[in-house]
Structure formats: structure tokens, C-alpha cells
A and B are shown apart, each in its own frame.
Chain A
Amino acid sequence: MADVSLRKVIKRYDDVEAVRGIDLDIADHEFIVLVGPSGCGKSTTLRMIAGLEDISDGDIMIGGDVVNDVPPKDRDIAMVFQNYALYPHMTVAENMSFGLRLKHYPKAEIKARVTEAARLLDITDLIDRKPKQLSGGQRQRVAMGRAIVRNPKVFLFDEPLSNLDAKLRVQMRIEIKKVHQKVRTTTVYVTHDQVEAMTLADRVVVMNKGRIEQIGTPNELYHKPATRFVAGFIGSPAMNFIPCRLEDVAGKLQIRLTDRIAFALPPARAARYNALPRNDKLVLGIRPEHLTESHAHLEPGIETFDTVLDVTEPMGMETLVYFGLEGTPVCGRVNPNAGATDGAPMRLAMDLNNMHLLNEETGAVL
């Protein structure tokens, strides 16, 4: 068990900077998820921690020791790969014990550790099978078992669930969480799936174009995104971004979305945004769940407007409604019994207590 620190870590491929100076402190026992779109440098970062990629600049520390030039086998880490990377000619037990056998552990201890890991992962019955006789989920368990038996300082997961079907992915996600609760090993987990990131992580690191956009708990990222990228990346369906501007009407601050639609801001929001220049190009960020059907008795800060729906998507527990505001596509989430139908007019309510205001040029959340 150990903490992991990255200090101004840079990775260059020829002239291209894949990772542009990352600072990250991962505490002992922590489950950190690196998330971002493909090509954002998250896998490269993980591979640099593993020692599979050299770092061009900066320092990586595991348990307080700088490991920049330490080969992977001496870093005391274990990695689970996207395609499992099981040795096809070895049985499950042999796969799991390969690392221990290379280090000449006593046979009795190897057996004990493999048995314990197999029990933990519920693969005791599969111990003598070859990888090709296993299903995707079982292979993933074996890959995790191979990591667990070595009892390393750090677990590294590189998109481990991407090859599984949707249902199995949810199941294995829970398994991984359970395993982490039991073994408590410091974990760095890479995924492009923000749901995986939110559900697994103690803290999520959102990466974009080789940089860290924001580090925070899943709740912080969801409710207090720092940038437009994070706001748009976390949450499904994604947050709506509607061009807007601030106006002063009769001494009150209001937000204008279209010629027709303008809302007075709730007092807390008005105080927060009052100092902003009125001419700035702004964007209103509002999540679909804060755009719902209108009720007779609305809480303060919830404003209604009329629109015509383009498309509706009944999801069962909710219905997603899509409409346009002066060309900007917007998504809302309404009760399935609210009577939303394709092409029909509907009165929607916008919860401005949960709005975000972004600078259109810088993308910063104000």
C-alpha cells in the first residue's frame, strides 16, 4: 500500500505533447479514476505510472520514492489491461501465479494466495481452465486475480470493462468496487466512461488534451464543474449550454435566453453574478433534470416557459424531451405521466437554483 504522486509529468512523442505537465497526489487506499475522451492522455499517464512508458519530464513517486527510472517489475504495481492480457497457454492458476513463480515464492504460499484470490473473486471452480474456456467477465476476474495475488502497492486498471457488454459492465463495476473495499489497495483506474468514473471513484480526475481539467469527488464534479469541458463531460444526457446575456430590469438582474424568454435570477445567484460585465458573451449551463414539467406550485427560483417539443424519448422512469431555443438544441427530463408528445407544445420549468453560468470564450464556470 502506498501513495502515488505525479509532479509536472510530461510525455512527448517527437514534437507532440501527449501529457502536458500533470500534478496529482493520490492518497494511500484511494480509488482514483482518470477519465476523459480518447486521446486525452489518461492511458499514457497510467502507463507512465506503470513504467511501460518513459516520462519526458517531471517526477513520479510511489510510496515516497521517485520511480522515474525504476523498471515496471520493481515498482511493485499490478496492472489489469483492457483485453485482459491473460497468457493463453496457461491455466487460470498458472496465470495468477506467474509473477509469484518468477520471484521464486514458496509453493505453499503461492497456492494459498491463489486460493484466497480465487475465493475473493468467486473463480475457484475455474482455476484449472485455460483463458479460452472462459467468458469475458470470467477473464476479467482472472486478470484482477493476477493483480491481487501479488499484493502490490498500487493497482492500475486500463479501461478494464470496455470489452464487456453493457449488463456485464455494470456487474463487474460493482465487483471491482467490492474488491477494493476488501483489499483497500491504492488504485488508479482509467476509463472513457463517465458513469464508471462517477460510480467507482473516491476522486475523479477529468483530463482533456493532455491536461487535468478538474480533480474532485464525483459530487463536486457534477454539481460544481470548473470548466465547460467538465460540465459537458460529466452527466448523461449532457448538460445543456444555451447562449445568454445578463440584463438589469427594474433594479433586478435577469438572464435573457431568447427575445421571448428571460428569467429573473434568484437572489443568491443574482448576488454572485452581479459583478459580471453585462456585455460579456455568456452561456447558461443547465442539466436536463433541472428542466422538468411545470407544476402549479413552483418553488422560488424555478421559472416556466412554453416551447414546442421536437422529439421525446420515453425511458420508462422518465421521458427525455428535446426542443430548440433559437437553434440551440436543449434536452429536458420530465415525468413520464406529464403528457410529453412529439411535436406538441409543453410548459417546462427551469430550476435556476441549479444553473451554471459560463464564459463563452474561456469556458470557465463563473
Chain B
Amino acid sequence: MHLVLFLIFAAFCLAGAINLLLQSHPINSALSLIVVMSSLAVLYLLLGAEFLAAAQIIVYAGAVMVLFTFVVMLLNVGEEEKTHGSRVAKVIGFPAVAVILGVVATIVLETQKHLAGVSLSDGVTTTQDLSRVLFHELLLPFELTSVLILIAILGAVALARKEGHS
């Protein structure tokens, strides 16, 4: 059952990511990114991370992607122009991607025997477990992120404001 669910949603993830690259209109890319993020939420659930699955849907598939589609519609972005692309990307970029993927895949396959399997009967990490660690040991970083988000809001407002309106 777990294998079937994993294969279905891993296929959705990869199909969404490939579709993101193939589409030429940004709104289609944004919609395929929503597919990727929602399937990742299901994979988080399979890994027993129930809080993160909910946060993934709410924060990523919800808030962040609404922001993206909103900007695409606000700027009325059209089809992407096809240009030759950068030469540096062709010479260094694509070999580097191949090397990174090759190295990571080799390392993972080599160390496979040290890794356990994932099954549905492993139980879930409840929100209670998560918050116990978050609010006991990591309270200061958690509070600091509120400052970060405040600065981000101020920065976004300052950057997106029209010139001349003070």
C-alpha cells in the first residue's frame, strides 16, 4: 500500500516538475508547481510528518503560490520569449547538474544498507512532540523568525511601493 502511494505521488511530483520546465506561460508553471507541492505534502504524511504536511499545504501550496499567481496576473506576464540562453549555463551548468545528481545518487545507493525502510506502521510525529522540542530547546530561534518576518513585510512594502508616493 505504501509502495503504491509512494509511486503515485512521486510520479506526480516529477511530472509536475518536468511540466514546470516545459510550459512557456508562467501561470501554467505556477499551477504545476502547486501539483508538486501538494504531492510533497502527501509524501510528508507517508513519512509520518503530519504537522509539516498541513504546513506545506497552507504555507506553500496556499500562501506562497497565491502570491506567485497574484504577481503573474498583476504584471500581466505573457509567454516567455525563446532566446539562445546563456553560454556559461551550457558549458558549466548542465555538466555540474549531471555531476551533482550522479554523486548524490551514488552516495545514497552506496549507503543504502545503513538506511532503514519507511512503512505506514512507523507511527507519526505528532504536533505535540514537535512543539515540545520547538518551545523548550529552540524558543529563541522561533522568536527570532518573527523579527525576520516583520522585516520581510516591511521590505516587501518598501520595495513594491510606487516611487513618489511617500
Partners in one complex: no
